[in-house]
């Protein structure tokens, strides 16, 4: 028997669509004890929000998110709106005793993230942040390989997040689809948007990051606003940093929107004493694995097609060899959240984990600004690796 869970979502952009899809699909593929009910969506523009509600089956459409907070009918607020709105909505939702799911990055900056984390923890209600890539089956398999001790002592963690959609100087600052270039709306550039994905995955797989040394660049320094005015670009277009992990390994991280030909190359390679693994989101159904424990004449990188029933999440999807995609990672995340809700368990990454990630991202920007290594305040996510 499933029980209803009434959802109110803020935002009808890319993430509004992805999350709506997850609410609609989750009960078809997972035996979870709750059935999301799509109560209402909030967004600024009346005709757009109504059109979105019709298309995705939301029962109501509001132009002010406060209507969702005030509604006694809504159990959970899902924040899928621009970064500049997360803080206010999360604080109001927590004060009203709602469960909260929030898109990444958690906040515009560390101070906001800290306040939001304390607020949701004070409310005692479950919360989660949609760092969806933890729910890619191949990344789940990477986690399993590490936990089984197959890499041994880790020496190197090498991550990239490469895209190319802002190379043209004609891409505007601000507006639908390009608000990520506007500091007042996004908070930060690729460090917040892309590096945070890499950091969340890295902490999950390899543990806490103790110090960082960063370098950022703005390649196109002024752009037009949608209304034609010229604006100075203030967000980081590219962000590269070195990191030291608590386990003694060295990390390198590179995020950019200026890697011509790379569309969503979220990749990592981990080199350990006994083996290595490599993942690339552009081939997301595969994990590359090298084992130094194989007979020496058979050693070589193997490509694991991560679609078997024993691979993470895959028993819930199709037959072996029938791959899943980007949107399924959000369904997987939601399924985990709903199972955790039933058991009263913390589902990671939650606000506290995302606070840790935000601290690293902010330390990288501090380091780039001051030209010095920075030690972020660490351990805020408490134990890692769960």
Number of Cα atoms under 13 Å in the Cβ half of residue 31 = 2
Least Cβ distance, residue 180 to ligand SOE (angstroms): 6
Residue closer to ligand SOE (CB basis): 234 or 327 = 327
User: Of the two residues 200 and 362, which places its CB atom closer to ligand SOE in the complex?
Assistant: 200
Q: Is residue 267 near ligand SOE by the rule CB under 6 A?
A: no
Distance from C-alpha of 217 to C-alpha of 256, rounded to nearest angstrom: 9
Pick 39 or 104: Cβ nearer ligand SOE: 104
DSSP 163-185: --TT-STTSPSSSTTTGGG-HHH
CB of 165 to ligand SOE, least distance (A): 6
**Bridge-based pairing state of the strands 250-256 and 238-245:** antiparallel
Q: Which is nearer to ligand SOE, 364 or 374 (CB)?
A: 364
Token pair of 172 as six digits: 């505007």
Least separation in angstroms between residue 14's CB and ligand SOE is 6
CB of 193 to ligand SOE, least distance (A): 5
Per-residue contact flags (x/-) with ligand SOE for residues 179 to 218, judged by CB under 6 A:
--------------x-------------------------
Token duo for residue 47 = 């005709």
* Distance of alpha carbon 183 from alpha carbon 269, whole angstroms: 31
Q: 128-166 as b/e, with b when 16 or more CB fall inside 10 Å? A: bbbbbbbbbbbbbbbbebbeeebbeebeebbbbbbbbeb
What's the CA gap between 208 and 247, in Å, rounded? 8
Q: How far is the CB of 163 from ligand SOE (least distance, A)?
A: 6
Q: Annotate each residue in 146-165 with x if it binds ligand SOE (CB under 6 A) or - if it does not, as one string.
A: -----------------x--
Q: How far is the CB of 129 from ligand SOE (least distance, A)?
A: 11
- Using CB under 6 A as the binding rule, the residues of this chain from 98 to 117 that contact ligand SOE are none
Sheet holding 302-305, edge to edge: 209-217, 238-245, 250-256, 154-162, 265-272, 275-280, 286-291, 302-305
Contact between 142 and 270 (Cβ < 8 Å): yes
Q: What is residue 360's three-state secondary structure? A: helix
User: How many residues of this chain interact with ligand SOE, rule: CB under 6 A?
Assistant: 3
Q: Does 264 bind ligand SOE (CB under 6 A)?
A: yes
Residues 23-82 touching ligand SOE, rule: CB under 6 A, are none
Nearer residue to ligand SOE within complex by CB, 136 or 374? 136
Instruction: Determine contact, residues 169/262, Cβ cutoff 8 Å.
Output: no
The smaller minimum CB distance to ligand SOE, of residues 163 and 206, is found at 163
Residue with Cβ nearer ligand SOE (261 or 300): 261
Comparison of 83 and 307: residue with beta carbon closer to ligand SOE:
83
Q: Are 154 and 247 in contact (CB under 8 A)?
A: yes
Residue facing ligand SOE at closest CB distance: 193
In the range 345-384, which residues lie near ligand SOE by CB under 6 A? none
Task: Find the shortest distance in angstroms from Cβ 339 to ligand SOE.
Answer: 23
User: Please, what is the minimum distance in Å from the beta carbon of residue 58 to ligand SOE?
Assistant: 22
Q: 10 Å Cβ neighbour count for 234?
A: 15
Collect all residues with Cβ–Cβ distance below 8 Å to 273 and sequence separation of at least 6.
Answer: 151, 152, 153, 155, 292
| Interaction site with ligand SOE (CB under 6 A) | 163, 193, 264
């Amino acid at each position: 028997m499933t029980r209803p869970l009434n959802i109110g979502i803020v935002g009808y952009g890319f993430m509004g669509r992805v999350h709506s899809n997850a609410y609609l699909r989750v009960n078809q593929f997972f035996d979870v004890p709750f059935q999301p009910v799509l109560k209402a969506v909030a967004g600024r523009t009346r005709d757009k929000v109504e059109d979105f509600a019709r298309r995705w089956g939301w029962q109501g459409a509001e132009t002010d998110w406060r209507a969702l907070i005030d509604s006694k009918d809504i159990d959970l607020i899902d924040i899928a709106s621009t970064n500049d709105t997360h803080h206010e909505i999360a604080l109001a939702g927590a004060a009203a005793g709602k469960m909260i799911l929030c898109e990444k990055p958690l906040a515009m900056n560390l101070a906001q993230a800290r306040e939001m984390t304390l607020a949701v923890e004070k409310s005692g209600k479950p919360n989660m942040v949609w760092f969806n890539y933890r729910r890619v089956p191949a990344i789940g398999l990477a986690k399993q390989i590490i936990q089984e001790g197959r890499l041994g002592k880790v020496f190197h963690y090498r991550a990239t997040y490469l895209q190319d959609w802002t190379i043209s100087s004609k891409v505007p600052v601000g507006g639908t689809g390009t608000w990520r270039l506007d500091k007042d709306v996004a908070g930060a550039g690729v460090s917040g948007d892309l590096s945070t994905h890499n950091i969340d995955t890295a902490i999950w797989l390899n543990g806490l990051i103790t110090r960082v040394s960063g370098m950022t660049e703005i390649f196109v320094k002024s752009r037009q606003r949608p209304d034609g005015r010229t604006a100075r670009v203030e967000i980081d277009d590219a962000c590269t940093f070195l990191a030291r992990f608590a386990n003694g390994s060295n990390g390198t991280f590179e995020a950019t929107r200026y890697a011509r030909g790379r569309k969503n190359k979220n990749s990592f390679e981990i080199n350990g004493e006994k083996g290595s693994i490599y993942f690339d989101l552009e081939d997301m159904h595969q994990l590359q694995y090298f084992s130094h424990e194989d007979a020496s004449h058979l050693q070589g990188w193997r490509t694991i097609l991560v679609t078997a029933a024993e691979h993470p999440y895959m028993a819930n999807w199709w037959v072996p060899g029938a791959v899943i995609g980007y949107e399924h990672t959000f369904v997987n995340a939601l399924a985990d959240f709903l199972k955790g809700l039933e058991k009263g368990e913390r589902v990671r990454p939650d606000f506290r984990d995302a606070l840790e990630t935000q601290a690293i991202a902010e330390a990288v920007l501090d380091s780039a600004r001051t030209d010095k290594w920075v030690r972020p305040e660490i351990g805020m996510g408490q134990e890692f690796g769960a």
